[in-house]
Chains A and B, each alone.
Chain A
Amino acid sequence: MGSGRRWAVSFSDNSTSPSCRDIRDPPGFTRASVDQDDSTASRQKKDAESNWKAQKAWEVAQAPFKNLLMMGFMMWMAGNTVHLFSIGITFSALWQPVSALQGVGKVFEPYKDSKVELLGPKLLFIALNLGGLALGVWKLNTLGLLPTHASDWVSSLPPAQEVEYSGGGIPL
């Protein structure tokens, strides 16, 4: 035994395969614990993430509230007369909630998770946006642009026809 094969390096890592676990793990190293550790860590991480997601989702859901306040402020600033500024504000106040409501799914897409309960935030989001919409409509009404009065419905009513007809005058 002296000559022949002196050494060889096998690049194939057999460490995980139990069949060739002829080399014992170094002391202090427990394969199982690594596995175990890993799984717990990832679980913890996942939990954290879902927590974070849920938190974020709530945050996102609450975001329109600030918007609402700002809108309210802007509307108050705009006053109650019809001019370009107030009309612009009102229409943006109407448009923002509508576009937000259209994109409800998209807004909450990143926070989709099997563990995360999104219904609550979604409902809050929708409710706040509806609130924004209501604010816009209310503003529209205060501007007098909503057909809530009889005057809005009769303003183009043609005059009633008369059954009788009469003519004449001073003789020619």
Chain B
Amino acid sequence: MAIRSFFVPFLLLVLWFYSSLSPVLSLYEDQVGLMDWHQQYIGKVKQAVFSTQKTGRRRVIVSTEENVIASLDLRHGEIFWRHLLGSNDVIDGIDIGLGKYVITLSSGGSILRSWNLPDGQMVWESFLQGPKHSKSLLLLPTNLKIEKDNVIVVFSNDRLHAVSCIDGEVLWKKDFETESFETQQVIQPPGSDLIYVVGFAASSQFEMYQINARNGELLKHESAIFSSGFLRELSLVSSETVVALDSTGSILLTISFQNGEISFQQTPISNIVEDSSGPAVIIPSSVPGIFAIKINSVTIFIRVIGKGKLEVVEKLNQETAVSNALPISESQQAFALVQHAGSEIHLVAKLAHDWDANLLKESIKMDQQRGIPHKVFINNYIRTDRSHGFRLLIVMEDHSLLLLQQGAIVWSREDGLASIIDVTASELPVERDGVSVAKVEHNLFEWLKGHMLKLKGTLMLASPEDVAAIQSMRLKSSEKSKMARDHNGFRKLLIVLTRAGKLFALHTGDGHIVWSHLLHKSEACQSPVGLNLYQWQVPHHHALDENPSVLVISRCGPSSDAPGVLSFVDTYTGKELNSLSLDHAVVQVIPLPHTDSTEQRLHLLIDSDKHAHLYPKTSEALGIFKREFSNIYWYSVEDHNSIIKGHALKCKCTGEVADEFCFDARDLWSVVFPSESEKITATVTRKLNEMVHTQAKVMADQDVMYKYISRNLLFVATVAPKGSGEIGSVTPEESWLVAYLIDIVTGRILYRVTHHGAQGPVHAVFSENWVVYHFFNLRAHRYEMSVIEIYDQSRADNKDVWKLVLGKHNLTSRISLFSRPEVITKSQSYFFTHSVKAIAVTSTAKGITSKQLLIGTIGDQVLALDKRFLDPRRSVNPTQAEKEEGIIPLTDSLPIIPQSYVTHALRVEGLRGIITVPAKLESTTLVFAHGVDLFFTQLAPSRTYDSLTEDFSYALLLITIVALVAAIFVTWRLSERKELQDKWR
């Protein structure tokens, strides 16, 4: 800290005073929830099982694509309990056993667990091994018992297991000898002791194993060859009949294996469906007697009648989702269909054996932004008149989860927010007179009551109920969620893009969803995959009338050379302003540091042929771009073959189309890492919008060091290819980590350091002139964090005070990176206890406030660590002057202060990213952490030195002022009287 400046010494004094206090930043219990909010999600539901026993609360158990198993309240959709399994422990199946255990099969079918249904405690866990990887199937036969023990049948890793439901003990297991046998279905006909395992061997052989469910004995093995081969999908029609498609997708095969005899029945699709064109796909379902196929976008339901005869029962043109069958009585099974039709969805529940009769037929208005229904799960309840009522759980295209009952949406969950892929922030509209959205206090009485309560609180007269009321008043303050900008810039919109391709705008005040927008499908692009968000237009100064907008880059399909789609979305309203289907792919997006007259930022999109395309496509933008043409470069990291290449723009595209916004590029430089010893594992650059206040760093002895601040620096970490696996898989001798600092304009390597015996994963953050990175030290068996600071030595001679006073220096003039910089670096390493999921750094409006590192720990919490702990100038015995400057004595490990957990008692399950947004108030930064959960808070790394704290006693100030005024008045009167008396004497 520069105490030795003469500017505003008093302020500095105060600052110094504050900073000399312990750097702990914590909050009081009653401050929780004032500035921060936390939201819990589960992700897109893969599978749902209802638990609606008469006793106990009704709930639904779900497994999701975010690897969560959760128990949800059927009444309100709240989470009873939730477990997030690791990313290498993907859930394959869930079910409920004995009505009180949730059984999950995960990790490619090798881990079977049982959880207690009411509270989510794990009951047992068993590991199932097998010869090779295969499809995993979980089956809980309802009335199959071995020695009074309910049995779980698991097919996984090419082995069939029967597991006890009580303790997870494997009762028997069975291997299948056939080479290349791929199991498709495991069938347990109810009421029998048989298990059928059916599947394909080679590409044209159908195999059936009949197994005794009691002891795993192989009873029968049959196989039959169908010459034209199969598509790898089966639909179960009855316990002894399956339907498959031939390899061309044009012939339906009804395969029955009654009594162990396999018989094929071929039916060309064209025979039963008149205008069928294109190959068909089987929609997986388990409705007895009926199966569904999809040709193009038409869903066709086909019934199997008797001896392999097929009959089309319905053709649906809309997007349709089918549920599994639900037994509602001894002989009846029901299933549900959900169709999407414009702004409505149609729900139909039918009996499996009677297509024409509908048990339920409803239409529900549905928000267009939820897209089409993807999945439906059906559950029934008995009405008071003993008829069946149905409730449907549907999963929509935007990953939201809704419960429908009696023609209405009972609850909905926005679980798309569990899979955020990109975040950006946007300002709220400026508050204009008369259009304030905030609610005024209801009436005078309420207002008075509120203030009376507050007064009671300050005078410590409040009872516990009053305290609770005050707390809830503070939490629900309408000021927080107002839809207008505030003076301090705390209220903003967080624009998030989810994996489902939906944009949400979250209000930073309380986290509510202001608007949401599902990326539109167009003629050209049926399934856009959202990739990234960029700030397209940030109006300030002269274009204030315009609304800000964001640019969403999406790709038309999963492959990297699929054409891109640009969508421009207004951040105030959530309306899509424009959508462009590009004729080229988008491999890289480079936001340029230039804006046009309407404050639209220029973006350079690089396609897969290394052409650069300029957006927006206006002549004005082209003019601006042409002026800076020779100064624009770009680089690409090819991490699979360890090459970093630099490119410069050459000329207009010399292609077939004359496009003046397209430019050719030429290779300028390349950094090739030796592939046998180095593999790129992490690359980090500075954030584009980061503000740096000063280029000088003042030392304790009034010496100056000039920071090397460049936007064009890249931090690259490479590891030995052997050591790129898990921690502990290599010896320290064969593993190392090399850190580079590379100038991405010229390709110059400014710094290189090797850490021997270190291993990834590497997490790094780059800010101002420093990089902090985190890795594992194999020798010390501990995690380590290193810091590199870069200083510009060529500026170090600028020490003549008079030159500086008169401004005769060139410290602020524009510099070219082609002039050779002389840099020196300082670095230091420390041990760190936690492994890390993400690292970010606080960012403030002007960059004056000191920085804190935000570390997402393995426990899904966010830890704030002062940058002062990662200062390469730390030494074991700092001098008095250095201590005054704020240098902390060197210790071998970084301290973890429990109070500096930003997330206090909460956990951000599945933490993936931490984003910091500067507020308008210099001391404060907004922090948003996302994973399966969302967490938002405000941070002041050097405390709020520029505003009064929230607990500042205004009442005391007011009372003091009033008392002073009164005292002045009284003494004035007294003195006047005395003067008068003196005059009469």
11 A-B residue pairs with Cβ-Cβ distance under 8 Å, sorted by A, are A82-B9, A145-B9, A149-B702, A150-B800, A152-B6, A157-B695, A160-B811, A165-B593, A171-B560, A172-B587, A172-B588
Task: Give residues 39-71 of A contacting B (CB, 8 Å).
Answer: none
Residues of A within 8 A of B604 (CB): 167
- Of B800, B812, B814, the residue contacting A163 (CB under 8 A) is B814
The verdict on A159 contacting chain B, using a C-beta distance below 8 Å, is yes
CB nearest neighbor in A for B795: A160
Tell whether B276 is near chain A: CB-to-CB under 8 Å: no
Contacts of B13 in A (CB 8 A): 82-84, 87
Assess A154 versus B811: contact at CB under 8 Å? Given A82-B16, A159-B692, A170-B683: yes
Q: Is B698 an interface residue (CB 8 A)?
A: yes
Chain B hits for A157, CB < 8 A = 694-696, 811-812
Check if B51 is an interface residue, CB within 8 A of chain A: no
Identify the closest chain B residue to A145 (Cβ).
B6
Given the contacts A156-B693, A157-B812, A159-B695, A167 and B634 also touching, CB distance less than 8 Å: yes
B6 touches A166 (CB 8 A): no
* Known A159-B709, A162-B814, A164-B817: A170·B693 in contact at CB below 8 Å: no
Q: Is the CB of A167 within 8 A of B745?
A: no
State whether A144 touches B814 (Cβ < 8 A).
no
- A162 vs B814: C-alpha distance when bound (angstroms): 5
Say which residue of B637, B709, B801, B811 sits within 8 Å of A169 (CB atoms): B637
| Alpha-carbon distance A83/B10, docked complex (angstroms) | 9
- Residues from 545 to 560 in B contacting A, C-beta threshold 8 Å: 553, 555, 560
Given contacts A149-B4, A160-B709, A161-B815, 13 further A-B contacts (CB under 8 A): A84-B13, A144-B4, A147-B805, A151-B4, A155-B694, A156-B694, A157-B694, A160-B814, A163-B814, A167-B591, A168-B647, A169-B636, A172-B532
- Residue B354 CB within 8 A of the other chain: no
The answer to whether B2 touches A159, judged by C-beta atoms less than 8 angstroms apart, is no
Smallest Cβ distance from A22 to chain B, in angstroms?
Answer: 54
- In the bound complex, what is the Cα–Cα distance between A160 and B592 (angstroms)? 18
- Say how far A151's CB is from chain B's closest CB, in angstroms: 4
- Chain A contacts for B532, CB-based, 8 A: 172
- The smallest C-beta distance from B646 to any residue of chain A, in angstroms, reads 7
Q: In the complex, which residues 589-636 of chain B have their Cβ closer than 8 Å to any Cβ of chain A?
A: 589-593, 604, 606, 628, 631-636
Contact indicator per residue, chain B 864-888, by CB within 8 Å of chain A (1) or not (0):
0000000000000000000010000
Q: Which residues of B lie under 8 Å from residue A153 when comparing CB positions?
A: 801, 804-805
A30, CB-defined interface residue at 8 Å: no
Measured CB to CB, the nearest residue on chain A to B699 is A151
B696 contacts which of A155, A168, A169 (Cβ < 8 Å)? A155
Interface core residue of A81, A144, A171 (most chain B CB under 10 Å):
A171
- Complex: A105 Cα to B709 Cα, angstroms: 56
A169–B694 contact, CB under 8 A? no
Min distance, Cβ A15 to any Cβ of chain B, angstroms: 44
* Tier of interface size on chain A: 20 to 34
B542 CB to nearest A CB, Å = 22
Nearest B residue to A156, CB-CB:
B694
B residues within 8 Å of A by Cβ? 2-6, 9-10, 12-13, 16, 531-532, 553, 555, 560, 586-593, 604, 606, 628, 631-637, 639, 646-647, 683, 685, 692-696, 698-699, 702-704, 706-707, 709-712, 744-745, 798-801, 804-805, 811-818, 884
**Residue in A closest to B688 when the chains form the complex, CB atoms:** A167
From A87, which residue of chain B is reached at the shortest CB distance?
A: B9
| A162 surroundings in chain B (CB, below 8 A) | 710-712, 814-817
A111 to B10, CA, bound (A): 42
**CB-nearest residue of chain A relative to B16?**
A82
Min CB distance A165 to B, Å, is 6
Q: In the complex, are the beta carbons of B815 and A168 less than 8 A apart? A: no
A146 within 8 A of B: yes
* Interface residues, chain A, with chain B CB atoms under 8 Å away: 81-84, 87, 144-172
The 6 residue pairs across chains A and B that have the minimum distance between CB atoms:
A167-B590, A153-B804, A144-B4, A166-B633, A154-B696, A159-B709
Q: Is the CB of B587 within 8 A of A150?
A: no
Given contacts A151-B4, A171-B560, contact A165 B694 (CB under 8 A): no
User: Which of A81, A154, A163 has a CB less than 8 Å from the CB of B816?
Assistant: A163
Question: Do B709 and A165 touch (CB < 8 A)?
Answer: no
Q: In the complex, which residues of chain A have a beta carbon less than 8 angstroms from the beta carbon of B711? A: 162, 165-166
Task: Decide: A160 and B695 in contact? CB cutoff 8 A.
Answer: yes
Q: Do A163 and B815 have beta carbons less than 8 Å apart?
A: yes
In the docked arrangement, what's the CA distance between A145 and B11, Å? 13
* B804 adjacent to A154 (CB under 8 Å): yes
Residues of B within 8 A of A154 (CB): 694-696, 704, 706, 798, 804, 811
Tell me, in angstroms, the Cα distance from A81 to B9 when the chains sit together: 12
Flag if B637 contacts A158 (CB, 8 Å): no
Of all chain A residues, the one with the shortest Cβ separation from B606 is A168
A166–B745 CA distance with the chains assembled, in angstroms: 6
User: Are A164 and B631 neighbours in the complex by a CB distance under 8 Å?
Assistant: yes
In the assembled complex, the Cα of A81 lies from the Cα of B10 at a distance in Å of 13
The residue among B4, B593, B694, B800 with the most chain A CB atoms within 10 A of its own CB is B4
- Give Cα A84–Cα B9 distance, bound, in whole angstroms: 11
Q: Pick from A146, A147, A170 the residue with the most CB of B within 10 Å.
A: A170
A172 to B608, CA, bound (A): 11
Chain A residues with Cβ below 8 Å from B800 are: 150
Question: Which chain B residues border A159 with CB–CB below 8 Å?
Answer: 692, 694-695, 707, 709, 812
B587–A171 CB distance below 8 A = yes
In the complex, the answer to whether A160 meets B560 with C-beta atoms within 8 Å is no
- Give the residues in chain A near B798, CB-CB below 8 Å: 150, 154
Tell me, in angstroms, the Cα distance from A154 to B704 when the chains sit together. Answer: 8
What are the residues of chain A within 8 A of B606 when measuring CB–CB?
168
Instruction: Select A166's contact among B699, B744, B804, beta carbons within 8 Å.
Output: B744
Q: Please measure, in the bound complex, the distance between the C-alpha atom of A77 and the C-alpha atom of B3, giving whole angstroms.
A: 21
Contacts of B695 in A (CB 8 A): 154, 157-160
Residues of B within 8 A of A149 (CB): 4, 702, 704, 801
Please, how many angstroms separate the alpha-carbon atoms of A114 and B884 in the complex? 59
Question: Residue of A at shortest CB range from B17?
Answer: A83
- Pair A165/B633 contact, Cβ less than 8 Å: yes
Of chain B, the residue at the smallest CB distance from A167 is: B590
Contact of A151 with B3 at beta-carbon distance under 8 Å, contacts A160-B813, A166-B712 already known: no
8 Å CB contact of A165 from B4, B16, B628, B683: B628
Contact partner of B801 (CB less than 8 A), chosen from A148, A163, A165, A171, is: A148
Known: A145-B6, A149-B801. A168 touches B693 (CB 8 A): no
Q: Find chain B residues with CB under 8 A from A158 CB.
A: 692-695, 812
Distance between B827 CB and nearest chain A CB, rounded to angstroms: 21
A164 touches B816 (CB 8 A): yes
- Residue picked from A159, A161, A172, most chain B C-beta under 10 Å: A159
Whether A160 pairs with B815 at a CB distance below 8 angstroms is yes
Residue of A nearest to B805 (CB): A153
C-alpha gap A171/B559 in the complex (Å): 12
* Distance between Cα atoms of A50 and B531 in the complex (Å): 96
A127 to chain B, nearest CB (A): 26
Chain A residues with CB under 8 Å of B698's CB are 151, 155
- C-alpha gap A148/B804 in the complex (Å): 11
B745 contact from A82, A83, A155, A164, Cβ within 8 A? A164
A170 to B684, CA, bound (A): 10
A81, A82, A146, A152 — most chain B CB neighbours (10 Å): A152
C-alpha spacing A169/B696, complex, angstroms: 29
A153 to B706, CA, bound (A): 13
Q: Chain B residues near A164 (CB, 8 Å)?
A: 631-633, 712, 745, 816-818
Q: Is the CB of A168 within 8 A of B814?
A: no
Query: How far, in whole Å, are A153 and B553 apart by their CA atoms in the complex?
Result: 45
Cα A11 to Cα B635 in complex, Å, equals 122
Chain A residues closer than 8 Å to B9, beta-carbon distance: 82, 87, 145
Contacts of A165 in B (CB 8 A): 592-593, 628, 631-633, 711-712, 745
A169 to B714, CA, bound (A): 9
Q: A129 CB to closest chain B CB, in angstroms? A: 23
A160 to B795, CA, bound (A): 11
Query: A60 to B604, alpha carbons, bound, how many Å?
Result: 79
Q: Which residues of A contact B592 (CB under 8 A)?
A: 165, 167
